[in-house]
Structure 1
Amino acid sequence: MLDSVDRQILSLLQRDATLSVQAIAERINLTTSPCWRRIQQLEAQGFIQQRVALLSREKLDLGVDVFVFIRTDQHNDEWLNEFSRALQNMPEVMEAYRMSGDVDYLLRVVVSDIKAYDAFYKRLVSQVKLADVSSSFAMESMKYTTALPL
């Protein structure tokens, strides 16, 4: 179970994984050695899955978010495995969810422009049998964070 010190460590790390152990320890009023042990324990327990760099989508010309709503008439393990494999080989797919309700799957796809999305769409429908695909392009990002609410 996480205590308040562990939550403070996680909060700091998820906002800036480059912080040194010393900097983290100072911010939470802990000495370096116990802080380091706690971080190692949080990693061993799987609370910290990985440390990554967040890149500038604008500088990389990847500023378009597309939400793709997918319906299928195939509800079996074989189709699901085929669909999952296809998604794993499509780096444009940032997130994929199996949904309840009217839509079976929701994808968040990041591309440079509509032409790039069209190429993605053609690859997707050529690899997996889908009953219906509809897309919505985000006009503005009003909030985006990778920090979980601790």
Structure 2
Amino acid sequence: MDVTYDALDAKILRNLQQDAQQTVDHLGQKIGLSRNAVWRRVKRLEDSGIIRARVAVLDAEALGLGLSVFISIKTAQHDAKWAAAFLKTVRALPEIQGAYRTSGEQDYLLQARVRDVKAYDHLYQRLIAQVDLQDVSASFVMEELKETTVLPV
């Protein structure tokens, strides 16, 4: 999808990424547009798919999900049936926050949030029970240096 946006739209997007709850009045004051102009622009950005959703960003630690894990997966199978089963499995596991097909030695990279190593093992057991994998390795995050949902617009 190749949707265009201008400098004012970019200002709106930067502001909404910091606080999606702010009113259109407040947003208009910050960027120098009327309430109606801001509302129309936000609506157009939503309709075009640039704004996919407005969500609350939760604190994983406060929710008892203190372990972030990157899971590297290698598979011997690359057919459509296997890929569909893998996708269905990954989407059904709520601990998995991101799933990516990658280039290089590994075929897929998963990002998960769990309570601890025991909870990761439970996730791992459920994953391998659902889909045939050649190799699975996990890297546990020792320190989060940067984590953001903000895109550079």
Q: Could you say which residue in structure 2 is the equivalent of 1:112? A: 115
Task: Tell me the TM-score normalized by structure 1.
Answer: 0.99
Which residue number in structure 1 is paired with residue 19 of structure 2? 16
- 2:12 is equivalent to residue 25 of structure 1: no
Aligned-partner SS, 1:65: strand
Percent identity between the aligned chains? 46
Instruction: Find the partner of 1:125 among 128, 137, 140.
Output: 128
**Which TM-score applies when normalising by structure 2?**
0.97
Match of 2:7 among 4, 7, 13: 4
User: 1:91 aligns to what?
Assistant: 94
Query: What is the Cα deviation at residue 56 of structure 1?
Result: 1.4
**Structure 1 vs Structure 2 CA RMSD:** 0.6
Q: Describe the superposition over 1:93-139 as per-residue Cα deviations: whole angstroms up to 9, x where unpaired.
A: 00000010100000001000000000000000010000000011000
Give me the whole-angstrom Cα distance separating, in 2, the residues matched to 1:34 and 1:67: 42
Letter in 2 for 1:67: F
Unaligned runs of 5+ in 2: none
Unaligned runs of 5+ in 1: none
Query: Structure 2 CA distance, aligned partners of 1:96 and 1:46?
Result: 21
Equivalents in 2 of 1:75, 1:10: separation in Å? Answer: 38
The match for 1:74 is 77
For 1:42, what is the secondary structure of its paired residue?
helix
Classify the secondary structure of the residue corresponding to 1:62. Answer: coil
Task: Show CA shifts across 1:38-73 (max 9, x none).
Answer: 111111111111110011111100011111000000
Stretches (4+) displaced over 3 A: none
- Secondary structure of 2:10 counterpart: helix
